[in-house]
Amino acid sequence: DAMVIQNPRYQVTQFGKPVTLSCSQTLNHNVMYWYQQKSSQAPKLLFHYYDKDFNNEADTPDNFQSRRPNTSFCFLDIRSPGLGDAAMYLCATSRTGGENTEAFFGQGTRLTVV
């Protein structure tokens, strides 16, 4: 059974029209991450949460926002998508601490901006 679920798998949005991507987990992990991955590139960390503590990467554009209303859910909001924001968006969750460390990903949401 899927443990990290991203919805939708494919999202088409118009240039400048706000869009929200969602992620949920059944693992009860404290940490949740959002990554942007463009074609043939490594995933780039946008931000992550430890519980409700939000950690933004210095080079993440202001256009990208996130919410984590509870342990299970996390949202990525793109306020005004540009053509350059078309990418795969990956959500991950993790638990760190010695041999119990684990980190799993959702299937990703492929965003197209038209």
Partner 1 sequence: AQKITQTQPGMFVQEKEAVTLDCTYDTSDQSYGLFWYKQPSSGEMIFLIYQGSYDEQNATEGRYSLNFQKARKSTNLVISASQLGDSAMYFCAVVSYNTDKLIFGTGTRLQVFP
Cα distance between residue 79 and residue 56, in whole Å: 16
Nearest 5 degrees, angle CA 107-CA 16-CA 71?
Answer: 40
CA 4 to chain CA centroid, Å, is: 11
Which one, 4 or 79, has the nearer CB to partner 1?
Answer: 4
50's tokens:
């430890």
Cα distance between residue 32 and residue 60, in whole Å: 16
**SS3 state of residue 83:** helix
Using the rule CB under 8 A, is 81 a contact of partner 1? Answer: no
Q: Which of 5, 27, 45, 86 binds partner 1 (CB under 8 A)?
A: 45
Using the rule CB under 8 A, is 68 a contact of partner 1? Answer: no
Using the rule CB under 8 A, is 80 a contact of partner 1? Answer: no
Which one, 72 or 107, has the nearer CB to partner 1?
Answer: 107
Site for partner 1, rule CB under 8 A? 30-31, 33, 35, 37, 41-45, 48, 50, 55, 88, 90, 92, 94, 96-99, 101-105, 107-108, 110
